[in-house]
Structure 1
Amino acid sequence: MLDIGYSLSRRFPDPPQTDYRTADVHALRHDLFCGDVYLADTKADREVSTAWGWVPVLDFAWALCDIVERLDRDPKGSRAAQPQYAEIDFTESTDRMLFERRFGWVDVEADWMPGDEAPLTFNHGELRREARNFLHDLIADLTDMHEELGGNPVLWDLQARFPRLP
């Protein structure tokens, strides 16, 4: 079972003068909503998580949705034996979260994981569903905190691009 979550940082708050309704893509992806993120395999009780406090959480959710789609470009889909690779590059460091899809399964690991630790493995369909639902839940949480964010057209487009999955 896959769980994707986040926590916002108190050390890196958003600038108080932020106009969330008109924040552009760069601000939404790089300057706002800093904290930490995790992907957890609840059945195995293991996770890949950050502990830096400065990860742009909305950018992570957005990038994760992009990556899941990128891993599905092979026309053979879950029958493709050729591995497909993608990564999330954390811009403030050299650390990366790495994704490898073979058949219908995605291995997730990170540069900061111990070398002898096995990657987390998730079904690609489950990863797609959970990534999209995480994005929508995160936007709902952020909109609860900053009501004017709900009027931002960038987020409308983002939610339309990655609709919630049942």
Structure 2
Amino acid sequence: MLDIGYALSRRFPDPPQTEYRTADVRSLRHDLFCGDVYLADTGTDEELATSWGWVPVLDFAWALCDIAERLDRDPMGSRAARPQRAELDFTESTELLRFERRFGHVAVRADWDREEGPTLSVPHSELRREARDFLHDLVADLTDMHDDLDHNPAIWDLLARFPRV
């Protein structure tokens, strides 16, 4: 089973004057909520994790949901033999998470794990479900910390675009 998680950084806190109710998409995706993220296969104990402290975790969740949808564009769906690929780039570095879907499974590999590190293999449907659950859980956690965030129209649009499955 896929587990996706995060930890917010104490080294890179959000600016104290932030107006979460009116924060624009760019700020929400790139300037706020920095920390580290991980994807783990609980069955094999393999994990892909960042340890930089500056990854925008909301952007990561948003991009992961986008990637799950992008990997599902082939009309053949889980019967498609042709690989479908996507990359999640970390803005402040050259590191990538690479996704490759073949048939119904997605292989996930991290560029920063140069020594043939783990490749996670998960069913596409599980990646989609877990990515959306992670997004909703993350927004709920962030809303608990920042009251006005749940009044931000960009957050409403994001949650409506990727409902839980």
TM-score bracket, shorter-length normalisation: over 0.9
| CA deviation after TM superposition for structure 1 residue 118, in Å | 4.1
The answer for unaligned runs of 5 or more in structure 1 is none
**Alpha-carbon deviations, 1:19-67, whole Å to 9, x = none?**
0000000000000000000000011011001000000000000000000
Q: Which 4+ residue blocks in structure 1 deviate beyond 6 angstroms?
A: none
Question: How is 1:68-147 mapped onto 2 (pairs within 5 angstroms)?
Answer: 68-147=68-147
**Could you tell me which residue of structure 1 aligns to residue 5 of structure 2?**
5
Counterpart of 1:104 in structure 2: which amino acid?
A: G
**Alpha-carbon deviations, 1:116-156, whole Å to 9, x = none?**
23411000000000000000000000000001001000000
In structure 2, do the counterparts of structure 1 residues 16 and 118 end up closer, same or farther at CA, with 3 Å as the change threshold? closer
Contact 2:108–2:121, Cα closer than 8 Å, also in 1:
yes
The answer on 1:42 being equivalent to 2:42 is yes
**Could you tell me which residue of structure 1 aligns to residue 64 of structure 2?**
64
Secondary structure at the counterpart of residue 17 of structure 2: coil
**Alpha-carbon deviations, 1:44-95, whole Å to 9, x = none?**
0110010000000000000000000000000000000000000111010000
Secondary structure at the counterpart of residue 100 of structure 2: strand
Q: Distance in 1 between matches of 2:118 and 2:56?
A: 26
| CA deviation after TM superposition for structure 1 residue 113, in Å | 1.3
**Could you tell me which residue of structure 2 aligns to residue 155 of structure 1?**
155
Q: Distance in 2 between matches of 1:30 and 1:112?
A: 20
Secondary structure at the counterpart of residue 120 of structure 1: strand
Q: Distance in 1 between matches of 2:161 and 2:88?
A: 19
Q: Distance in 2 between matches of 1:147 and 1:35?
A: 20
Q: What is the aligned length?
A: 165
Q: Distance in 1 between matches of 2:144 and 2:116?
A: 41
Counterpart of 2:148 in structure 1: which amino acid?
A: E
The answer for unaligned runs of 5 or more in structure 2 is none
Secondary structure at the counterpart of residue 122 of structure 1: strand
Q: Distance in 1 between matches of 2:24 and 2:164?
A: 23
**Could you tell me which residue of structure 2 aligns to residue 17 of structure 1?**
17
